[in-house]
Structure 1
């Protein structure tokens, strides 16, 4: 494969944004060098490669850095033609995928982030949880087009863009329930999404990139009391 010997990924083990890129590389069969970053002591290379945001992930291909996870996913799909396509070839289907990708990132992920920020704030927390459930309901309806007839993934037999975004956002739903007390993947309320995330979590490559449950619980418990004072270190 072209450029496969010079691919490096600057990431952090618990970053959902980093996991998007890591899973895409594995799906495409692209060998890469894992470069773990410490948010309390960022490497000079990370600051050099992403001087604007100073965040992970950053993909470095043949010495050329690409920042921001969604942009990196597009770059991977356009650069490496082997392996499953992450985005549909058809322009209309590709546009629909982009719409739902934006929904996951801007509606689901951000609304869940507000739940985390609103911990212990009474009405603010109640409204944030309500927003999450409403948007999950909308997403459940929207995915019926792609997961009809018992399909496990939205990209046929392979994982694609929506599967990647879904699994890295909600695969640790049991951790979220344990730490934040919100059950997002309720099989009674969202049977389609629950079946989807269950199938995704059983995928061998997803298992490879998923952070250990206990380690993630420990991290989020530390993060929880100070979440209002800290921003995301990945994008």
Structure 2
């Protein structure tokens, strides 16, 4: 046990990220849950650094995990890497089928839920109505997946919870900025309950970005979207 701890301490782990990035927070939460020490390198999303462009020249975005000099990009891939590299406090089930389903729901969140939610806030008029309807249809699947569970991962936070954590952070901020309600307790009681329990979990709560920083960041993003 002491040897394993010394090995963890000896490893060089760096994270290029923006403190207000809910997608980047996935990596922060996973590293914290596993007790991995790392160096946080703050990135300006509006003025990207040479370091970011060097380590992620294809997508040019955060987060980027650098482990012993080797960069890993794309948040869900980074989470898989973290899980396979550091075995303590697993975020994926051991059963192959359950692991496959966890990966499915994490990808569903990024491929279907995230874009539909985003469009619900940036579209106008009829297009916004269509986007909200699509977002609700996707959210219904997450609502059902939570039935009978505390977290998507069961009694403990797992991959799907970490991957879906952006819902608990960004939706209320965007709702306030745009003036519409997308997720409410009447339509999605299980999802709203999960958002509260997830947000109040110690590791999550201790690494929660300040709301005023999120308001500022998303206000700038919304202005950018509406000006294009």
TM-score, with structure 1 as normaliser: 0.88
Aligned to 1:105: 110
Aligned residues: 222
Q: Distance in 2 between matches of 1:115 and 1:198?
A: 22
Q: Distance in 1 between matches of 2:192 and 2:79?
A: 25
Match of 2:70 among 44, 64, 68: 64
Match of 2:188 among 187, 190, 204: 190
Contact 2:20 2:213 in 1 (8 A): no
Higher RCO (CA-CA < 8 Å; seq separation 6+): 1
Which segments of 5 or more consecutive residues in structure 1 lack a partner in the other structure? Answer: 231-235
Q: Distance in 2 between matches of 1:125 and 1:210?
A: 29
Match of 1:74 among 57, 69, 80: 80
Which segments of 5 or more consecutive residues in structure 2 lack a partner in the other structure? Answer: none
Contact 2:76 2:163 in 1 (8 A): no
1:172 Cα offset (Å): 3.3
> RMSD value over aligned CA atoms?
1.7
1:41 Cα offset (Å): 2.6
Aligned to 2:100: 95
1:228 Cα offset (Å): 4.8
Contact 1:176 1:183 in 2 (8 A): no
Contact 1:24 1:164 in 2 (8 A): yes
Work out whether 1:31 is the aligned partner of 2:37.
Answer: yes
Work out whether 1:141 is the aligned partner of 2:144.
Answer: yes
Work out whether 1:123 is the aligned partner of 2:123.
Answer: no
Residues 133-172 of structure 1 deviation map (CA, whole Å, 9 limit, x = unaligned): 121112211222xxx1xx4223344211011122223333
Instruction: Provide runs of 4+ in structure 1 moved above 6 Å.
Output: none
1:223 Cα offset (Å): 2.2
- Per mean C-alpha deviation after superposition, the further-off stretch among 13-22 and 73-82 is 13-22
